Structure 1
């Protein structure tokens, strides 16, 4: 699940999150750990321009700091950046931050990357917004090298060039999973050819089979083999019968009903689903998470 509180876009934040903070994040992360969730995720934005602030808000916690903080209070749940806009930073800087996070957490990092969409962030940081796609393509290659086993990684490309520069600590994992986010044709191609997984961005159920077919075809045509994790973001969920208006798109009902609906994702070829629960308070969210882990997940 994507963590609440750490990003508060009006598209998905619940009203109670406006007054929440670090203590709430800690309790939610611990609840995810207890309930058997595979990962908790944190977003990445450096600065939000005034034109977008009414919709996006300016509440965007730093993902490395947030996930490192939560790694220290959890034991097994994985830590996903969903997604890191790695084109805003030099790959050696990104590698230093996330390798340290993987090292400190005992190998629980999943590095999710994406191209980004806020021009002003790129402009103020001196990054190239117009060429962010090609930059990301190369940055993925550079990160593969920089997060690999070599203490002195090497990469020679059009946008980045480095060798003879050592970085320790190394990641705890022999290979950090790298999932590519986005649903544009370019993002799907990038995920298929360069990623270990795909994180869609807002694809409804009826669009997923076509996207997955494209991923499969691209990988086959290029001869790309190896494990690959296909993701999906579900509709908002509420376990049980809500006594309040949770919105017409929210899936509600008994645990077996919700499980039956979610199993349709597996039938499409999806490997992991990211869930979000409607809630009016931290307590209600924690109850929903516990109910999902205990009563819904065993049926999946």
Structure 2
């Protein structure tokens, strides 16, 4: 689940989120953990320009601060940046922040990364927007080094160059999973060749098989083996029969019917799904979360 409240784009934010805050995030995180969810996700923007503010809003919590806060009130659930625009920051800064988060959470971090899309953000921070693709490719390599086991990592590249600089604490995990977000051809290539997983962005389910086939082909052609997690973002969900208008794209119905629909993702080769529930309040969201965990998730296997 990507958390509500922490980002409030008009594409997905519910009206009740406008008055929500930290206590709601805590309640939602604990409900997701009780329901057996795999991870909580928080996304990343530094600043939103006026031209985009009406659609995107300017509410974007910092993912490191948000996930660290929730690490302290949960025990098991994993913590995902979906996605961190890591090209906006030096990789040693990113590594310091996320290694500390992994250390404090006893190894629950999944680092999701993406190229970013807001030109003004890059310009304000002195980063070349047109080079964000090559920059992300190299930053992933630099982060692999900086989040690895070595106290004094090294990286020598076009955009970043460092060695002989120690960072502790090290991550609690021997290998921090690095998932690449995005559905463009470049993002899919990056995920296949550099990532431990793929996080699609906006792909309808009918487009996923061709994307997954390309991922597998690219990895096979490069001779890359080993675990790789393929994700999907489902349609909005509502467990049961809603008494209000949840939108025509929302999947609704009894648990078994929802499970049958969602099992189609597994048949495509998807390993994990990210869900979002339509809801009118935090209470309705936590009720939906509990119902999904108890009645829908067991039928997915």
TM-score, with normalisation over the residues of structure 1?
1.00
Alignment of 1:157-236 (within 5 A): 157-236=157-236
Partner of 1:29: 29
Matches of 1:189 and 1:90 in 2, distance apart? 23
Partner of 1:265: 265
- Is 1:241 matched with 2:259? no
Partner of 2:277: 277
Partner of 1:88: 88
- CA RMSD across the alignment: 0.3
CA positional deviation for 1:128: 1.2
| Structure 2 counterpart SS, 1:252 | strand
Partner of 1:288: 288
| Structure 2 counterpart SS, 1:258 | helix
| Structure 2 counterpart SS, 1:29 | helix
- Is 1:38 matched with 2:38? yes
Partner of 1:297: 297
| Structure 2 counterpart SS, 1:246 | coil
| Structure 2 counterpart SS, 1:82 | strand
Partner of 2:59: 59
Partner of 1:12: 12
Matches of 1:294 and 1:248 in 2, distance apart? 25
Name the count of aligned residue pairs: 300
Runs (5+) with no aligned partner, structure 2: none
Matches of 2:40 and 2:257 in 1, distance apart? 24
Matches of 1:102 and 1:127 in 2, distance apart? 27
Spell out, residue by residue over 1:136-190, the C-alpha distance to the aligned partner (whole angstroms, 9 max, x if none).
0000000000000000001000100000000000000000000000000000000
Partner of 1:133: 133
Matches of 1:128 and 1:191 in 2, distance apart? 22
Matches of 1:277 and 1:129 in 2, distance apart? 34
| Structure 1 counterpart SS, 2:265 | helix
Matches of 2:111 and 2:228 in 1, distance apart? 14
Runs (5+) with no aligned partner, structure 1: none
